[in-house]
Amino acid sequence: MKVGIDMGAAMTAGATGASAMLDLEELLATRLLVQGNSGSGKSHLLRRLIEQSARWVQQAVIDPEGDFVTLAERFGHIVVNADEHSEAALQSVAARVRQHRVSVVLNLEGLDADMQMRHAAAFLGGLFDADRDHWYPMLVVVDEAQLFAPSAAGEVSDEARKVSLGAMTNLMCRGRKRGLAGVIATQRLAKLAKNVAAEASNFLMGRTFLDIDMARAADLLGMERRTAEMFRDLERGHFIALGPAISRRPLPLRIGAVETQGRAGSPKLMPLPDTPLEDARELIFKPGEPEPPRLPARRPSTSASADLLAQLSRPRPLPVEPENEGAAPALPMEEPETPEQAAERKAAYEAILREVLADPEAPYRSIAVLYQDFLVRCRTQGVRGELLELPAFRRKLAAARAGAGDGTEENPAWAKATQVAATLPEDIQVVFLLLARAALDHLPCPSDAEVARACGSRSRGRARRLLTYMEQRGFVATRSGLGNTRSIALPALGWETALGDPNADPNADDGSEGPEDGGLFATA
């Protein structure tokens, strides 16, 4: 069935005002790429396409800014708030979306860039991996696609970038046979991964100003480069279209009106409030009542490898003696461990964990890999490593990366810090413990490089984002000092670090020091 979607008015000399129709069935087979600078009307174009095709095809919108949630009331889209679901839950939601043919908007608003990439990848993976019986046609609209398929590594983690880029590549390269038609919008083609952009056969190019972007847009549309400057003069909402779904020749068009509006809208000028100077000063500098820190429940791990290692690490159940006389004799039951043996095993755990973390690359490996290395070393030394299960190993590893060691666990103050840390999201627990250790020992505030290394990254930018995230949610409070120094307070504990340089580079700290050097297992 051929369905034409009215995208607006064609602006050619011979057909000014005529409707620019888009063949929806052809679009499902050939995909669409939209480019335009911020403010060129990309979101308006996507909204027009979604509204006009809502009654004909199932839709899924990947919305990083929460701009398309207004479609729900008018067109019946279900809004899926990503911050309320784990990655595994989003995969299940996506599978049921395809099964029941429901149009949805995945709202990623409120998540940082790293988590947006992970949650979007999980949702797209659920759509892609749906059962063959549920491969119904679906339009998958991704706004700001350069966030999920960047052309170069940024300040997000390599793991998040890898899974997100893989999901976007599957959507654009392999999604057609599964009924998925990608519609992606980006501010610049240079920001978008080439293997994602290259799979689109339809293009809508809006206003852009950089010479390289104008030249690439002209090349994609088969236009001469001397005419590329026309993209600089396009008005808001005006695009040049080309592709089998809309026009075989470059077609200027003006996008038509839409029935719904984004929540933010375009900024409008308005007069400043007429507030006296003294009143304004009081409003700004008046101290507010301190709010209690919000401690969200920790999200359970969704790593398949971590779950598998947890199952493998559980001790085998002890054999039960048979009640029947003719049954085979039971294996001898192990004797209970004495306090001395437990202390020896604990000391062996500390020594083996030192060996694991002595590797300079250990801070940047996943917990599952480190735990596997720990179990292997335990077996080679005749120590029952399986008695330290994965959750306990994770806590011990976080404490070790934070600088805690022998004797610290018996400190009641440190026990309180670990209890508070256990209520935080898993990826920031080690940062909280690192700050708690510095505050407990009245040490200078850890630098951005130390925070990044503690959370398994080399990116200082990621460390700064984590600290900002923690401060916005009341986990920490930062105070600036003289000479570009800072201290960080922990409201839940009532502790504060000494002033320290955030730009310090502890390059001598490679993770291989012993207790005498004040390394990972230095005593309190």
Q: How far apart are CA 328 and CA 467, in angstroms?
A: 61
% the chain with pLDDT above 70? 81
Task: For 299, list phi and psi in degrees, rounded to 5.
Answer: -80, 130
Confidence check: pLDDT of 334 > 80 = no
For residue 296, pLDDT over 60 is answered with no
pLDDT of 320 over the 70 cut: no
Between these two residues, 389 and 512, which has the higher pLDDT value? 389
> According to the model, what pLDDT value does residue 298 have?
45
The whole-number average pLDDT for the span 132-142 is 92
**pLDDT for 69 beyond 60:** yes
Indicate the average pLDDT of the chain.
80
pLDDT at 385: 76
Beta bridge mates, 4: 23
pLDDT at 119: 94
Least confident of 245-249, 250-254, 284-288, 511-515: 511-515
**pTM of this prediction?**
0.55
Beta partners for 202? 32
Q: Which residue has the higher pLDDT, 508 or 5?
A: 5
Q: For 498, which DSSP code? A: B
218 or 44, which is more confident? 44
The radius of gyration of the chain's CA atoms, rounded to the nearest angstrom, is 29
Domain 4-255 bears CATH identifier 3.30.365.10: no
Alpha helices in 248-303 (DSSP H): 277-285
Average pLDDT over residues 113-126: 92
Task: Identify the weakest region by mean pLDDT among 31-40, 114-123, 282-291, 336-345.
Answer: 282-291
pLDDT at position 351 is 83
Instruction: Quote the pLDDT of residue 381.
Output: 82
pLDDT at 193: 87
Query: By the 8 A CB rule, do 301 and 429 touch?
Result: no
Higher pLDDT, 53 or 483: 53
State residue 299's pLDDT score.
Answer: 46
pLDDT given for residue 364 in this prediction? 67
Please state the rounded mean pLDDT for residues 451-476.
83
The stretch 444-449 carries a mean pLDDT of 90
pLDDT score for 331: 44
Bigger pLDDT: 283 or 470?
A: 470
In DSSP terms, 273 is beta-bridged to none
In sequence order, what DSSP letters do the residues of 197-251 get, joined into one string?
HTT--EEEE-----HHHHHHHHHHTT--GGGGGGGGGPPTTEEEEEETTTEEEEE
> Do residues 494 and 440 touch, judged by C-beta distance below 8 A?
no
Residue 405 has pLDDT above 70, yes or no: no
Higher pLDDT, 391 or 205: 205
Residue 317 has pLDDT above 60, yes or no: no
Where is pLDDT greater, at 140 or 332?
Answer: 140
Per-residue pLDDT at 65 exceeds 70? yes
Find the mean pLDDT for residues 461-473.
85
pLDDT on residue 409:
59
Q: Can you give the pLDDT at residue 12?
A: 76
Instruction: Name 32's Cβ contacts closer than 8 Å, sequence gap at least 6.
Output: 49, 181, 182, 183, 184, 200, 202, 203, 204, 243, 245
Tell me what pLDDT residue 168 has.
Answer: 93
For position 300, what pLDDT does the model report?
A: 46
Q: What is the pLDDT of residue 233?
A: 79
Q: Which whole-number Å values give the CA distances from 433 to 23, 220, 306, 383, in the listed order? A: 57, 52, 22, 28
pLDDT at 13: 65
Backbone angles phi, psi at 13, to 5 degrees: -60, -40
Q: Which has the higher per-residue pLDDT, 20 or 226? A: 20
Report which secondary-structure segment, H or E, holds 251: strand 247-255
Lowest model confidence (mean pLDDT) among 88-92, 249-253, 369-373, 513-517: 513-517
Confidence grade of residue 159 (pLDDT, cut at 50, 70, 90): confident
What is the band of 506 on the pLDDT scale with cuts at 50, 70, 90? low
The pLDDT of residue 519 is: 37
**Per-residue pLDDT at 137 exceeds 70:** yes
Report the DSSP pairing between strands 4-10 and 19-23: antiparallel
Q: Check whether 175 has a pLDDT greater than 80.
A: yes
Q: What is the pLDDT of residue 433?
A: 85
User: Residue 478's beta-bridge partner residues?
Assistant: 488
Report whether pLDDT(523) > 90: no
Contact 57, 138 (CB under 8 A): yes
CA dist list (Å): 176 to 60, 95, 136, 149: 15, 17, 11, 18
Domain coordinates of the chain in residue numbers?
Answer: 4-255, 340-517
pLDDT of res. 515: 35
